[in-house]
Amino acid sequence: MPFMLGFPPKPHSVDLLSPPHVVFGICGVNVFTKLPSRIPYNMVVHYAPKFKEWVLPQPQNLPKSAAHRALRQPYVGINILENIDVEALRWIICTMLEQSGANMSTRCFGTTPDFYTAIKVLRAWTVLDLPVAGTDSIRTYVLMELVTGPPISADKLALIWDNFDRFSDVVLQAADNFIEHHTAGSYMERESTEILVYIASDQDRRDFFTSLRYDPPANESGGDAVEALDPVETALSTHSGITNDPEPKAKTIHEKHGTRKVTPSDKKARERKDSIAMKKRLSRHTSTEGLRSVYDKEPQKQEPPFPPIHGEGKIYNEPTHPPEPYLPKAGLLKVAPKPDDLNVMSTLLGLFGKGKDQAKRRSQTPPADPTFQKPIGLGIALDGKLPAGDEMPTQLERKPRSEQRRKERRASLKSSSSLRSERDEESKYAGYESEVEK
């Protein structure tokens, strides 16, 4: 927390950190062990001149051993007669040592301030008559905790009330914190009762919180605004603050045109009514036709790209090209190629020089009908006959022609072999006759 405190810069003497050192006490109680071990007296009175008022006189008739120690390392006693917390005094002393450049222990460099410690430091700073500007950072920290922090507890409220003036900004913000969270219902019954009992136990606190009533302006319609209920008067029907009747525990709800008084049961009924109205409004966003409002536009139906075809139990769109028909496997039935494929095959066979007779024979095939588009289906019988209207030849119909060619080829082979045997015999007899003539 030393970085949240500051002293005004001013020139100091050369012996700022020189002995003697200080032994502190608060209201006659020695706190030497809870503070840094070596605190120069010149530094303390330089930053906080008020300590001079509490300097103790030098002791007389000391024992010889104590007198020798006092000569080697002199000390000055300061007894603080104000209500100052030891932890707050330690933070202030550490800030003095830091700004004076003295050697400090690591425990003096705390950087996470505590809310209770911050309140005590502000109290001690005020008691020592130090400049208010030196606590701007820590005061801002306390105010932000009260504005944006959780609901204030009873011990925090008591600590602030005991250490600050009743019209201080910290006290006013603490009271606003309690009134705001108590109005919103953020407290449990035990916590709110504890705070309200603390407020009602003192007449000054009761008058202070009564003076903080919300006084809204008149309504726009010209009527008088409804005065907000005092939390002390509403929840504390007796001095002890104990009551079992829930009706007096009314809550104030700040709205645009003033403040209305409602009970917890009325608040729940209104929330239930608002939730039902919200469900009706949200139902318009559903796709159900029966829940649509008369002001909603009719949904536009998107037309499919193709007219739907109603089949057996399903609806689908017709594709741009009809699907290929299912053909049986080659082992069951061989289907002749299409007429266009015959021309391509004959051309390829003629280019590569293979099967010229076959290519010539296929090229002489009459051209196919251009209007023919119906593929061969499953109507072909195993005997090779086509149904009525189909004139495409199949492999089974060309089978007799292939057997005839095979017979012709065999006959040609036999004739060629017989001619070869006759030539051999003629050459044989011709050689024999030449030998006889010789």
Which tens digit of pLDDT belongs to each residue from 113-136? 788 888 888 888 888 888 888 888
Find tokens 């009908």 and name the residue: 369
Domain boundaries, the chain: 1-111, 150-267, 337-366
Lowest mean pLDDT among 29-38, 220-229, 263-272: 220-229
pLDDT of 292 reads 54
pLDDT of 251 reads 47
Average pLDDT over residues 22-29: 86
Do strands 308-310 and 21-26 pair parallel, antiparallel, or not at all (unpaired)?
Answer: unpaired
Is pLDDT of 408 > 70? Answer: yes
Share of the chain above pLDDT 70, in %: 52
Predicted confidence band at 4 (pLDDT cuts at 50, 70, 90)?
A: confident
Contacts 24+ apart (CB under 8 A), 324-333: 324/375, 325/375, 325/376, 325/377, 325/378, 326/378, 327/376, 328/378, 333/380, 333/382
Is pLDDT of 394 > 80? Answer: no
C-alpha angle with apex 17: 16 to 22, nearest 5 degrees?
105
Predicted confidence band at 259 (pLDDT cuts at 50, 70, 90)?
A: low
Report pLDDT digits (tens) over 29-74.
Answer: 888 888 888 888 888 888 888 888 888 887 777 677 767 666 667 7
Average pLDDT over residues 88-115: 76
Q: Which residue would you say has higher pLDDT here, 73 or 181?
A: 181
pLDDT of 433 reads 54
Q: Which residue would you say has higher pLDDT here, 372 or 24?
A: 24
pLDDT of 28 reads 84
CB of 212 within 8 A of CB of 179? Answer: yes
Q: Where are the beta strands (DSSP E) in 149-264?
A: 251-255, 258-262
The DSSP result for 184-206, as a single string, is TT-S-HHHHHHHHHHHHTSHHHH
Find tokens 């009873």 and name the residue: 154
Report pLDDT digits (tens) over 319-378.
Answer: 455 555 545 444 444 445 555 555 555 555 555 555 555 555 555 555 555 554 444 444
Predicted confidence band at 296 (pLDDT cuts at 50, 70, 90)?
A: low
pLDDT of 371 reads 52
pLDDT of 330 reads 47
Q: Which residue would you say has higher pLDDT here, 431 or 276?
A: 276
Is 272 strand, coil or helix?
helix
Counted residue by residue, the chain has a size of 438
Task: Identify any residues that bridge with 26 across adjacent strands, giving them in sequence order.
Answer: 29, 80
Burial 237-254 (b: 16+ CB within 10 A, else e): eeeebeeeeeeebbbbee
Q: Which residue would you say has higher pLDDT here, 45 or 433?
A: 45
Average pLDDT, the chain: 69
CB of 248 within 8 A of CB of 260? Answer: no
pLDDT of 114 reads 82
Average pLDDT over residues 223-251: 43
